Structure 1
Amino acid sequence: MPDVEDEVQGLLRARRYDEAFERLLDRHEAQVFRMAVMMLRDHGRAEELTQDIFLQFWRVLPRYDGRAAPSTWLYTMARNACLSALRAAVHRRTSPLEDVPEPAAARPAPVDALDIRQLVSRLPDVQREIVTLFYLQDRSLKEVALGLDLPEGTIKSHLHRSRQALARMMLERGGE
């Protein structure tokens, strides 16, 4: 049975864009959405952006050149769209300091009830993206490296640092 990526590439070469798009949408919509939620930390905005990403992807699909897997191309577009949305949100999110309420001290959850996604969301942006792609979306090191335009060794280093940071966070939460 042919791999979905190979099947999609064949459909693209045959200029059967509707079918290729449907296969990619069926296969990757949930993963693109999860990546958007992890990066944006806003479920509603992630839904909107996922739709925008697939609309943009549909528009550029005829220009696919075959240098990378279609899914890698899609995830790169999705990542860039999320980063653009984050940059735009930073510019909109300004208010005087006296209007910002003091954060309430909340009792952390016990270690056994930790939501790993919450901990991942506390990682630096690059590490969060790499962990999301590698562990939560089951992408290979090579795919993550291609999608983020980074060497595989750098991806490995970020994964190592991420695991260490997550372990520290779990220990901190457990000791409180």
Structure 2
Amino acid sequence: MPEAALTITPDDATLAARVRDGDIRAFEQLVLRYEGQMFRLASRMLDDRAEAQDIVQEVFLTAWRRIGQLQDDAAFAGWLYRMTTNRCLNLLRSRQRPADIDPDATESPRTETRPEHAVQVNSQLEALTVALRELTPEQRACWLLREVHGRGYEEIGEIVGANATAVRGRIARARAQLAEVMKPWR
């Protein structure tokens, strides 16, 4: 059997424990594992790729500095989601006015190459982005964590500092509002 076949990728708990001991390579593995997810969350919450990059860098820098405060090494991903979400919510609350949306800055799935289909998909994505901006920051965070990142209600509650019932309510209101705005696209 080749050596590469025997390579086992360590889980989050193992890597976090190594990071606590000062292992930079373990931290690099965690960054590679979660950087894309944190960036997608931040960029969708903030509608600003540059701010999202700044937030993600701050989150990972904070994670490196405060790894000793993490009580459960297996909860590393939830810890990152919580830090990213909280930083985004703080930034959204501090903004004076909403940022303009740059449709070219959002990632668009390309399922077909027909121009008319691409125009329709881009229009739908732009409408969804505008609709997401109309949600409260808390609703947007809960909706994105559930619908885009697949997190459970309890975990979202831990991330945003609310109970599961409040999270369900925020998501239900967000879904209703989004469904109303997106009716023309059905």
TM bucket (normalised to shorter chain) is 0.7 to 0.9
CA distance in 2, matches of 1:112, 1:42: 17
Q: 2:95 aligns with which of 86, 89, 93?
A: 89
Give the alignment's TM-score, normalised by structure 2: 0.69
Query: By how many angstroms is 1:132 displaced?
Result: 0.8
> How big is the alpha-carbon RMSD for the aligned residues of Structure 1 and Structure 2?
2.9
Identity %: 28
Q: Does the aligned pair in 1 maintain the 2:39–2:53 contact within 8 Å?
A: yes
CA distance in 2 between partners of 1:67 and 1:9 (Å): 6
Deviations 1:62-119 (A, max 9, x none): 33222871111112111222233234433xx6xxxxxxxxxxxxxxx86994113443
Q: 1:170 to 1:61 in 2, by over 3 A?
A: same
Scaled by the length of structure 1, the TM-score of the pair is 0.72
Superposition pairs for residues 39-54 of structure 1, below 5 Å? Answer: 39-54=45-60
Question: Which residue of 69, 92, 97 maps to 2:75?
Answer: 69
- Structure 2, unaligned runs of 5 or more: 1-7, 98-118
Given that 2:154 and 2:164 are in contact with CA atoms closer than 8 Å, whether structure 1 keeps it comes out as yes
Structure 1: gaps (5+ residues): 94-108
**Counterpart residue number, 1:4:** 11
Looking at structure 2, the residues matched to 36 and 111 of structure 1 have their Cα atoms a distance apart, in angstroms, of 22
The alpha-carbon distance between structure 1 residues 167 and 87, as it changes in their structure 2 partners (threshold 3 A), is: closer
Question: Match for residue 167 of structure 1?
Answer: 179
Q: CA offset at residue 138 of structure 1?
A: 1.7
Please tell me the residue identity of whatever aligns with 1:114: Q
